[in-house]
Structures are given as C-alpha cells and as structure tokens.
C-alpha cells in the first residue's frame, strides 16, 4: 500500500535557489489532488532586499538585517498575503526560518506565530566561513539550533547538511545531542531528500525513534522533479522501521489544532 506522507518542506519562486517551481503550480496540485504539503520559503530570502537576496549568507548579514528592517517587514507581509491568497486544499503556508549569528530570527516578530508550519535551518555559520576549529563550529551549530528552538520551530530541517557539505565531521555524539535537544525543546527532525546523507539520516532516525522524537518528511523541493518523490525517505524509514509502522513516528502539522484553539 502506498504511504501518504505530509511533505513539510517545499520552495516557491520566493526562494532564490528555486528552479522551475511556482506558487501557482503548487496551488494547482493542491486544487486537483489530495496531496498534503507546506510551502516553506527561506525567511532570509524573503526578508533581505531584492538586490541582495544572499546578503544573509555574507559577513554583512547583521548590518544588512538592521538596514532592511522596514523593507523586510513589507516583503514578508507581501509574501504571506500572496501565499495565503493562493492557499487551497492540502497546501499549508510556512517558512524555513533563518537565525543571525547572534541568534535573532530573520522574520518580523509577531508574524511567525501566524504561519501554519515553522521549520528551522542552520544555513550560515561564520565559524565555517572562517574555517575555525571543529569544536568551535560544533559550538556554533548547537548555539543556532538552540536559538531556533527558542523561536518555536516545529522541525529542524536537514540538521547536518551545512557541516557535511563542508566536510566537517559530524560524530555520533553531535547527532545524540541534536536528538536530545529535539526531545527536550520540542521539535521534530527532518529526513531531507534534496541533498542525501543516508549514513547520518539513518543514525539520527534510529536515535529519534529510541527517544520518541518525531521524524518529519521533507523533499525540500527546488525543482518540480523532486516534488512527491519519497523514495529516499522510504529507504531510510525502511532501515529503521522495517515493519512499515511509520505513521505514529512521523511529524504532522498542528494547524487544525491551532485554528480550533483560536476559535
């Protein structure tokens, strides 16, 4: 039997690194199928000015953030209005939240709580750019994860991508730390298929199951061919849960609960 995953993580044209995916395309899928997914654009790329969408990833991230506060708020408001207008069916609206090196979130203060889904990512680390010793890079990683948790993220996405892509070691102890942080601070951990690190994903998934931490399923779609392809997630889940009893371990959005609470 085919398993119907909730895809917590996709990008639209509001994310600069997205390729052929569009909000109208997602809306069409949501209108014509029963697919459930969240559109979660990068908060920094919505917030930072159009002529400097990658400013968050530079050494000027903080200065640019300070200088673009008003414009950033307007851009986030426009993005959110546009997504809400397009929203239909099983489509939810969220963001992939970025934090500055000092831990502040790149999103207007009171608007984050209005989203259906809040993901968090470690996307930019000065210690990595400066090629600092591994212990300092790990410290900064833990600092950013805790900062994201403090902002109320529901899912930590592609936890080790930045480190592994830079060939920084991710030892079992750091995976253990992440899983315990997830349990204590209350967020799920994503299995992400956009860039695949099976060894670490299997280890993380195994520990998450032991600790009762939910696993979130994300395609992190940047191009349309990635959307709806859960073969990687099935492979990882198949290794850690060979009996196929996946549903009760997977993270689900709580948007209906929130709406009920608001009403």
> Please, which residue, 121 or 174, has the CB nearer to Zn ion?
121
Closest approach, Cβ 15 to Zn ion, in A, equals 7
CA 217 from centre of chain: 10
Shortest distance, position 225 Cβ to Zn ion, whole Å: 16
121 binding Zn ion? (CB under 5 A): yes
Residues near Zn ion (CB under 5 A), total:
3
Q: What radius of gyration do the chain's Cα atoms show?
A: 18
Indicate the residue among 58 and 74 with the shorter CB distance to Zn ion.
58
What number of CA atoms fall less than 13 Å from residue 118's CA on the CB side?
20
Closer to Zn ion at the Cβ: 103 or 238?
103
Q: Which of residues 136-195 bind Zn ion (CB under 5 A)?
A: none
Task: Please check whether residue 23 is in contact with residue 83, taking contact to mean a CB–CB distance below 8 angstroms.
Answer: yes
- Please report how close the Cβ of residue 244 comes to Zn ion at its closest, in angstroms: 27
Angstrom distances, CA of residue 42 to CA of 11, 131, 166, 256: 8, 25, 20, 24
Part of the chain binding Zn ion (CB under 5 A), chosen from 23-31, 81-89, 118-126, 127-135: 118-126
Could you tell me which residues are beta bridge partners of residue 155? 119, 188
Site for Zn ion in 87-106 (CB under 5 A): 96
- Nearer Cβ to Zn ion (70/105): 105
Please state the closest distance from residue 32 (CB atom) to Zn ion, in A.
24
CB of 163 to Zn ion, least distance (A): 13
Nearer to Zn ion, 166 or 257 (CB): 166
Extract the runs of DSSP E, i.e. beta strands, from the chain. 7-10, 37-42, 91-97, 117-120, 155-156, 188-192, 215-218
Between the alpha carbon of residue 173 and those of residues 138, 180, 200, the distances in Å are: 11, 10, 12
Interaction site with Zn ion (CB under 5 A): 96, 121, 220
């Amino acid at each position: 039997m085919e398993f119907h995953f909730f895809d917590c993580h996709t990008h639209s044209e509001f994310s600069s690194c997205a390729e052929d995916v569009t909000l109208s395309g997602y809306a069409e899928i949501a209108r014509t199928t029963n697919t459930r997914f969240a559109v979660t654009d990068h908060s920094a790329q919505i917030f930072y000015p159009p002529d400097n969408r990658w400013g968050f990833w530079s050494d000027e991230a903080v200065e640019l953030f300070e200088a673009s506060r008003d414009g950033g708020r307007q851009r986030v408001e426009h993005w959110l209005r546009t997504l809400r207008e397009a929203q239909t069916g099983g489509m939810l609206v969220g963001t992939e939240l970025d934090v500055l090196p000092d831990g502040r979130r790149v999103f207007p203060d009171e608007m984050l709580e209005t989203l259906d889904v809040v993901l968090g990512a470690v996307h930019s680390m000065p210690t990595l750019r400066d090629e600092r010793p591994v212990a300092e890079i790990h410290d900064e990683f833990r600092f950013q994860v805790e900062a994201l948790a403090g902002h109320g993220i529901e899912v930590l996405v592609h936890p080790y991508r930045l480190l592994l892509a830079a060939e920084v070691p991710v030892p079992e102890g750091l995976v253990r730390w992440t899983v315990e942080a997830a349990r204590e601070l209350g967020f799920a951990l994503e299995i992400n298929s956009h860039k695949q690190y099976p060894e670490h994903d299997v280890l993380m998934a195994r520990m998450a199951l032991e600790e009762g931490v939910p696993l979130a399923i994300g395609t992190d779609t940047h191009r349309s061919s990635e959307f709806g392809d859960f073969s990687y997630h099935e492979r990882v889940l198949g290794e850690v849960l060979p009996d196929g009893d996946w549903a009760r371990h997977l993270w689900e959005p709580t948007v209906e609960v929130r709406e009920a609470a608001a009403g």
